[in-house]
Amino acid sequence: MRLIGLAVLLILNLILAPLVAEGQQAGKVHRIGILFETTLTASGEDGWRTLFRQRGYIEAQNAVFEFRWAGERFEKLPALADELVRLRVDIT
């Protein structure tokens, strides 16, 4: 499970780095989808918010975070991913 989490973190880093480097449009609110295979604790969510804040994405200012958890029920992952697509997230 930790390898999957690490892979997700690495992928997000690779995706977010160019976006932050280009700068953000004034007034644009980014909808960020975050999908987990396990249930995340409140402190885990805060850790993700801190990570994004360090990269310039601040909740209630220029970002909305859409957290989704499968609770180790892997069969739920496709439906949760579909939900994020329907929400038209900017970053997944």
Tens of pLDDT, residues 17-36: 555 545 545 688 999 999 99
Measured between alpha carbons, how far is residue 59 from residues 7, 30, 49, 54, 56 in Å?
Answer: 24, 9, 8, 12, 10
For residue 72, being part of any structural domain is answered with: yes
Q: Domain residues for 47?
A: 2-86
Q: What is the mean pLDDT of residues 6-16?
A: 53
**Cα 29 off chain centre by:** 14
Closest residue by Cα to residue 65 from 78, 82, 48? 48
Q: What is the mean pLDDT of residues 76-80?
A: 94
For residue 30, being part of any structural domain is answered with: yes
Q: How many domains are there within the chain?
A: 1
For residue 8, being part of any structural domain is answered with: yes
For residue 54, being part of any structural domain is answered with: yes
Q: What is the mean pLDDT of residues 35-52?
A: 87
For residue 52, being part of any structural domain is answered with: yes
Which segment of 12-21, 57-66, 82-91 scores lowest on mean pLDDT?
12-21
Measured between alpha carbons, how far is residue 52 from residues 30, 46, 79, 82 in Å?
Answer: 11, 10, 25, 23
For residue 92, being part of any structural domain is answered with: no
For residue 91, being part of any structural domain is answered with: no
Residues in the chain: 92
For residue 62, being part of any structural domain is answered with: yes
